Structure 1
């Protein structure tokens, strides 16, 4: 690019350059790259447009624009993507968080608050659920078991526990870190098959002061035996044969393991339904993100499992059915 005199000229030159190289949203990319190298955002960026372009950032600026022109996503160049009002680190080890996933988090928070208003799960069993004739015996038995476990509660029953939400396919931690930050009374866990992704997610949790239990492993396997109340996942859902036709930003740069959902894109959902047997009981709330045209099939998988008496489909901002939730009322 020729020498530019002002920040506005740099923006215009980069926008034209990126458009000529087939980049999607060239103006938005140019602005994000400028904000990154200048250390400005929001109103401060717009107020600086007439200022002279600082030569001290020229090399970094040109390198960023060149990388973007080659098809690399701007988020990997800047190292950040905003999600639910928070800045998340992103690297090529993780899928870049999408705005539509915010709707999934919003729905999980909403229905989770309905099912557990105080974020606590009442203890099962105990004298309160025993028949009148057996109440005294049940209380005595419950008290003895609680004492053996060192637990306490009304009439000697187990005390309520914080609800447990498990995010399958943690990626950058966008879902799990946001849930932990927005609902601090919850116990939030997250798993991923990629050590690199978990490292990024852990850094994002630390950045936002969110308590998340991260575990390495395939889908539900790291959580075998864990009482799980909420299961949420944005798994790979693109049919393997469709990946070659994706935008180059996605196809050539985002991790394939976070994209490829098998022959029809539904393998992860089927496997998670099968792996529910690893848990002590099915979660009362399940929320999945999915691809275009998959809502009916994923809803069918939930109905066939028979654990949830309410199935909800949520459209994204473009009106595409994007999320399916199962709720056991």
Structure 2
């Protein structure tokens, strides 16, 4: 994997289709965790716990596991209702075991026309476990893509690693497997091209660990109005930059059904959507739409 370091002031203007200034991606992470795994090492369940203390992977952690399952049983449906009521799409990420163990959620996303992106095999295992073994990493990716194709009904186009823990080999493997965009890199407000060993480029469509319900609610302890202000502040500043420079931006909000899907938090994303919809120069986009467009037009932005 290689990408050029091109500072923002050195780029040509990014001109989105139809005069849009800001592309907005609302990411709903559909994630499944195994109840146990055959490893006494501390279990990494993909984010902060609802209660303190860390149990080994070979011990069932009831509050943390069932808290996450709340998102699958209840929270995600509340989110889908909000997106439907407000008439905006969400870009869903799905690990393979979510498709195997909680297929009703994935089927509902597909039926609603939402984008679905592979998100590793299971949330509790990381690609960095295979950082020194490219073929084992490739095997995990291939099995994930196979399940994705069987469940979603078409080949995958992009990828988000669980906990963003990819390796220096991940992008090369994804390009070899025919994917076209990569979402792990956190380093930009615009797309850019990634070069790979195979010669097949990927488009980087950055995720975010900052404008993320885990960060604002669980790590920073904000209430629903504080979280909505964070989302709006990000939106306002990026839109202002795009207006002043004539160069478009995108923003992503990372959402987890067991966090934002709680009744006392869901209003944060609803209020943000209603605010953003006031502006006619906003593009509620999917990652695939952005990646396909940028792959054809990147030379006019970063040659």
- TM (norm. structure 1) is 0.29
- Structure ranking higher on relative contact order (CA contacts 8 Å, 6+ apart): 2
- TM (norm. structure 2) is 0.31
